[in-house]
Structure 1
Amino acid sequence: MADIWDGMRAAFWLIVQLDADLMEITLRSLHVSLTALLIACLIALPAGTWLAVRRFRFRRAAIATLNAFMGLPPVVVGLIVYLLLSRDGPFGVFGLLFTPTAMIIAQVIIITPLVMSITHQAMRELWSEYHDLLISLNTSRSQRVRTLLWDGRRALLTAALAGFGRAIGEVGAIMIVGGNIDHVTRVLTTAIALETSKGDFALALGLGFVLIGLSLVISFLTHSLSQTERSGRW
């Protein structure tokens, strides 16, 4: 028990003193996760909105597949990306394996279905409200998508926050494709696993507190935006 309290005190001082290793790992985690989130949103937000507006033959199957991909095991994604980026893989020539770029690619694959599914659900409800109006104005599909994206931007921000929460806490895939290399690809989750195995509980707890803090901020923001969305839109 004494070791736990000693570790917590040491972790607290690491955070207060802005320990160099702690800050480096935290900033790298934010860089990787935010970049992956930006790319995922550029794909998922328009695609999810388009799926809510467009009617086509295999739409139900597409939605079911999208929902299934939300539960895609991260380690499987990591394995697939590893094989694609490895020296013998089709993209091995680019030398991306064990770099932050490989970690970003893995995270994009993991969080895109999540963001797209939440977007689709939110835009489907909005489309039911706007359907008659937008049809009567003889708008094109691209105009309908843009209108829904703009008017539903608060719900879309909630979807983005959910994606960021999934990305920042990911460990399996980025451990495989990043390699947890010090000063190169080490992020919060992989560093916690490493420092725990080494017995450096102070740094592990410090990193854990930072990760918990980020998760709490995401949770509060998501809850706040959800409550505001119910009370009215911008």
Structure 2
Amino acid sequence: MQAGIFEEFGTQYLISIVLVTLQVSLTAVGISTLLSVFLAGVLGFNEFPGKRWAVAVVNTGMGFPSVVVGLAVLLVLSQQGPVGGGFSVVLPGGGVLFDFDGVELLFTPTAMVVSQVILATPVITSVTLSAIEGVDDAIRDAAFAAGGTSVDVSLAVVREARYGVVTAVLAGFGRAVSEVGSVLIVGGNIAIATGGGMRVSYTRTLTTAITTESRQGNYELGIALGVVLLVLALTINVLGSVVRDRGTAR
């Protein structure tokens, strides 16, 4: 790799790409974790008609094609969609009960967060649900015997499954940070010129930047970005292994 690569393209450009990637992925995983723990709790601690189908939907969601998710988010956030274009609720008499003018979210980091939440939530939910269901029934029985309520029992089980939950979060982050299809569609892969031939990322992530730079023949920069992405992925895998080892050793 040539020594002048960062002088040519700017370390600011590289740093901005990494920061956008982490900002979008961490925000998406944070939201997904809250949703997933709630959904896993509902599925893991309750019996209801259709539960098997609900679990099947969650497991199927782990394999959602990212480009399909990106297209769906694009349609919802576009000017023709209910979020981008707005909508109205009209009363039978012709009066307007509610009028939403819409909000511009397409081709912003927020749109990328939405798409990554949709992709990461099934992964975190499924792994968390497996961790909850894998807790020994003796834990539940002991919590009940101690006079605990249903909430107390649920908290005790989740506390016991915490290592599995952490593994689920790391798996969700890995799914989000490696995403390219959906964020390319809804984010637009935008880099902003700052003057003097320099640029910074607005919605360009590591994965989309690698695709763009490689297509333009900037292989050195593509390799540099790929190394950064590999380091992130390796860090995630190492953390996951440490968490699993701690959980197994208990």
Normalising by the residue count of structure 2, what TM-score does the alignment of the two structures yield?
Answer: 0.84
Deviates more, 1:100-109 or 1:39-48: 39-48
Partner of 1:229, secondary structure, is: helix
Q: Determine the C-alpha separation between the residues in 2 that align with 1:151 and 1:46.
A: 16
Match 2:71 to one of 73, 79, 96: 79
1:47 aligns with 2:56: no
**Does residue 231 in structure 1 map to residue 249 in structure 2?**
yes
2:225 aligned residue: 207
Shift of 1:14: 4.0
AA in 2 matched with 1:68: T
Kept in 2, the 8 Å contact 1:46–1:149? The answer is no
Match of 2:51 among 41, 52, 59: 59
Instruction: Find the structure with the greater CA-based Rg.
Output: 2
CA contact (8 A) 2:140 2:156 kept: no
User: What aligned pairs does 1:169-208 form with structure 2 within 5 A after superposition?
Assistant: 169-182=178-191, 183-208=201-226
Partner of 1:139: 148
Displacement of 1:31 in angstroms is 0.3
The residue number in structure 1 matching 2:107 is 98
Moved more, 19-28 or 51-60: 51-60
Q: Which structure has greater helix proportion?
A: 1
Aligned 1:15-34 pairs, distance under 5 A: 19-34=11-26
TM-score (norm 1): 0.89
Q: Do the aligned partners of 1:100 and 1:185 also contact (CA within 8 Å) in 2?
A: yes
Q: Deviations over 1:178-224 (max 9, x none)?
A: 00010310110001000001111111111100000000000111111
Contact 1:78 1:176 in 2 (8 A): yes
Residue from 18, 25, 29 that aligns with 1:37: 29
Identity of aligned residues (%): 40
Q: Distance in 2 between matches of 1:142 and 1:46?
A: 13
Residue 89 (structure 1) shift: 0.2
Whole-Å Cα distance in 1 between the matches of residues 77 and 136 of structure 2? 40
C-alpha RMSD of the superposition:
1.8
The residue type equivalent to 2:116 in the other structure is Q
Partner residue of 1:119 out of 128, 131, 150: 128
Q: Which moved more, 1:53-62 or 1:72-81?
A: 53-62
> 1:77, 1:106 within 8 Å by CA — same for their partners in 2?
yes
Q: Distance in 2 between matches of 1:195 and 1:121?
A: 40
Gaps of 5+ in 1: 1-7
Kindly provide the amino acid, as one letter, of the partner of residue 184 in structure 1: Y
1:157 aligned onto 2:166: yes
| Bigger strand fraction | 2
Paired amino acid for 1:152: A
Going from structure 1 to structure 2, the CA distance change for 1:211 and 1:195 (only over 3 Å counts) comes to same
CA contact (8 A) 2:139 2:156 kept: no
Are 1:130 and 2:139 matched, yes or no? yes
1:124-156 C-alpha deviation (Å, 9 max, x unpaired):
011534222233345333333222222322221
